[in-house]
A and B are shown apart, each in its own frame.
Chain A
Amino acid sequence: MESTAPTSFSYDADNEAKFQDLLTKYPTKQAVVLPALWLAQDQFGYLTPDLMDYVAKRLERPPVQVYSVVEFYTMFHTRPVGEHHIQVCQTLTCTMRGCEDLQDLIHDEIGIGPGEMTKDGKFSFETVECLGSCGTAPMMRMDNRYFEGLSREKLKRILQACKEGRNPADEDHD
């Protein structure tokens, strides 16, 4: 991980503008580490050592500082995730209201368990801790949005939409 080799990654024009704007919003460059990592991850999909080195270089931080930040936060990915990344909440209320059932259903429908990705890269799946949606438990986060009040039927419809290349949000109704 000590690579400081020149990297082929750089922000696209849109993200470069956002990055420049971020620099004006914090009194230190280090404070821009998280937002800058977000830009990199949003652009590339996940964070490779090259991307982390790029962020470190742009912010004049030691690369190891950036690596340790990436390691600490669960939302930064250092491996590719699926086209649809499914995060099923498994904390107390969601468990009370049947999230384990949903995990089984996901396994039955797309053939993977928590921590796995389908071979075609269409889906990845993980269980996560409380997402702050306990009033509409059980729930999951996918495609950067919440799907709440999930029943087996609703989840099946959502997954089916993904499989058929339709927008899963269209199935987010009872």
Chain B
Amino acid sequence: MKTMTKIISARFDIEGNHKLGGYKSNGGYQSLDKLFSMQPDEVIDEVKKSGLRGRGGAGFPTGMKWSFVPKNIDKPKYLCVNADEGEPGTFKDRMILDFDPHALIEGIMICCYAVGIETAYVYIRGEYDHQIARFSAAVGAAYDAGVIGKGAMKGRNLDIVVHKGAGAYICGEETGLIESLEGKKGQPRPKPPFPAVEGVFGCPTVVNNVETIAALPWIMNNGADAYAAIGTEKSTGTMLFSISGMVERPGVYEGTFGVNLWDFIEESTGGIKDGKKLKAVIPGGSSSPILTAEEARNTALDYESIAAAGSMVGSGAIMVLDEDTCIVKALEVITRFYAHESCGQCPPCREGTHWLHQIAKRIRAGKGRPEDIDLISSICPDMMGRTVCVLADAAAMPTASYIEKFRHEFEAFIDTASPPVRHLQPGGVNPEVGRL
């Protein structure tokens, strides 16, 4: 089975592609003639027909998201490109910013033309200094060449502004991003109103992930039907998968939807490191429920199949756990993450993430109480569906799955003096002396 069609990553390895001239000689900016020959609505229809879904995590159909933006409205409209890549396990948008920044610019042009937008903000996480510099240079070159700027879009203006984040996972949530872009704390807003109607600066706003936007030039060049022909009926096209953890060759691999999950991981990365056995796969970032080795071997990699297996494709961040990885430690680590990143505005999240972390931490330290496992199980449902955004769900869902699928490991930490797997990896800190 061919698992590596290249749409997004096709130019990653080409020297000099990050520069305007290089990108152009690699087929870049060729979609614009076709774009400007079409009516904006036709472009939206084309993107709808392609079946493209948001690659940031939610998987919402892109064309449909655009069509929610009111047409005849006496306000500016905005595009916010979400480059606040923060879901643990995800490192693919930085590849686009690094190696194919002009594909993102070309995609921005397509979106802005279709929706009638003259200003796009690209919100890049603050730690990505190198990518911010790379992408800013590409934007500068595009201005200089008149690709964007005054009158560049068939007489209409297009400005692209690079906005540097300052370190907050929650700003990857679309309304958190909007609040942050407005100069505030990145605390998500209740929806409705949805950003398409009332987003940044009180105006209609499209918020799309980097990879989603970067897929648009290919769709325009090759047509929606060609894109929809790749993958499965409902999960069309390809996606960049960030594969990390205990595999031989971690990295970003482009995969076609519908392939077997484990086959794809194995073919791309060479399988588990050092000949160890597979224990589990986290398929869509740390917020997604964990899959056992058996589930990972028997699941196809597409939105529907992964959902049927009880998890989600999310941001395509596949984390592979080998037999030596301690699930209790893994829970301690991810709950620490959510406790740290909760924005604090909703009590079930603010309190719940910390409770989960405290309990996981004490179990791992050998101080767990027999009732702790059920206590975790009772906290999780009370965190879900009760908050402004889904950060609480993102903490509770994987937590519940770790307990459900690996309960024996938690029990072993509580019941016996010598748990089966004490450390995550060789060299892990001894819990008796460790600082964490």
A16 within 8 A of B: no
Rank and list the top 3 A-B pairs by shortest CB-CB distance, nearest first. A33-B183, A73-B166, A75-B167
Closest to B91 in A: A132
Residue of B with least CB distance to A72: B185
A134-B250, A135-B250 given as contacts; is B163 within 8 A of A92 (CB)?
A: no
User: Per-residue 0/1 for A116-139: is the Cβ within 8 Å of any B Cβ (1 yes, 0 no)?
Assistant: 000000000001111111111100
Q: In the complex, which residue of chain A has the Cβ closest to the Cβ of B324?
A: A96
Residue A111 lies at the interface, judged by CB distance under 8 Å to chain B: no
Q: How far is the CA of A124 from the CA of B330 in the complex (A)?
A: 27
Determine chain B's interface SS by DSSP, over half rule. Answer: loop
**B85: Cβ under 8 A from any A Cβ:** yes
- Assuming the contacts A93-B88, A93-B319, A96-B425, asked whether A135 and B169 have C-beta atoms less than 8 A apart, the reply is no
The number of residues on chain A lying at the interface, defined by a beta carbon within 8 Å of a beta carbon of chain B, is 51
CA distance A100 to B425 in the complex (A): 10
CB–CB B90/A129 < 8 A: no
Query: Which residues in window 16-53 of A have CB below 8 A to B?
Result: 25-28, 30-35, 37-38
Distance in angstroms from B240 CB to nearest chain A CB is 11
Question: Given that A69-B184, A132-B94 are known contacts, is A145 also in contact with B242, CB under 8 Å in the complex?
Answer: no
- The reply to whether A72 and B429 form a contact with Cβ atoms under 8 Å apart is no
What are 7 A-B pairs with beta-carbon distances under 8 A?
A30-B183, A34-B163, A61-B183, A95-B330, A101-B429, A132-B85, A145-B130
By the criterion CB–CB under 8 Å, are B186 and A134 in contact? Answer: no
> Is A82 on the interface with B (CB-CB < 8 A)?
no
Interface residues of B in 37-55 (CB under 8 A from A): none
A3 near B: Cβ within 8 Å? no
In the docked arrangement, what's the CA distance between A74 and B171, Å? Answer: 12
In the complex, the answer to whether B183 meets A34 with C-beta atoms within 8 Å is yes
Q: How many residues of B contact A (CB 8 A)?
A: 64
Query: Which residues of B are in contact with A by a Cβ distance under 8 Å?
Result: 76, 85-91, 94, 125-130, 159, 161, 163-169, 180-186, 201, 242-246, 250-252, 282, 286, 317, 319, 321, 325, 329-330, 333-334, 336-337, 340-341, 343, 424-429, 434-436
| C-alpha gap A97/B341 in the complex (Å) | 22
Given B164, B321, B329, which contacts A34 in the complex, CB threshold below 8 Å? Answer: B164
Say whether A68 faces chain B, with CB atoms less than 8 Å apart. Answer: yes
Nearest-neighbour CB distance to chain B for A54, whole angstroms, equals 15
Residue of A73, A95, A130 near B329 (CB, 8 A) is: A95
What 1/0 flags go to A80-117 for Cβ under 8 Å of B?
A: 00000000001111011110110110000000011000
In the complex, whether A144 has a CB less than 8 A from a CB of chain B is yes
Q: A28-B201, A38-B166 are in contact. List 6 more A-B contacts (CB 8 A).
A: A33-B184, A92-B245, A92-B319, A130-B86, A134-B88, A134-B244
Which residues between 145 and 164 of chain A lie within 8 Å of chain B, taking CB atoms? 145-146
Expressed in whole angstroms, the Cα–Cα distance for A114 and B91 within the complex equals 25
Q: How far is the CB of A40 from chain B (nearest CB, A)?
A: 12
A116 to B88 alpha-carbon distance, docked (Å): 25
CB <8 Å contact, A129 and B169: yes
Q: Which residue of B lies closest to A69 (CB)?
A: B185
Q: Within 8 Å CB of A72, what residues of B?
A: 168, 185-186, 343
Instruction: Point out the residues of chain A lying under 8 angstroms from B436, CB to CB.
Output: 90, 100, 103, 127
Do residues A146 and B252 form an inter-chain contact, with CB atoms below 8 A?
no
A141 to B125 CA separation, bound complex (whole angstroms): 13
Determine whether the beta carbon of A74 is less than 8 Å from that of B180: no
Q: Among A25, A37, A95, A144, point to the contact of B166 (Cβ < 8 A).
A: A37
Judging by beta carbons under 8 Å apart, are A103 and B90 in contact?
no
Collect the chain A residues with CB atoms within 8 Å of residue B282's CB. 92
Q: Which residues of A contact B163 (CB under 8 A)?
A: 34-35
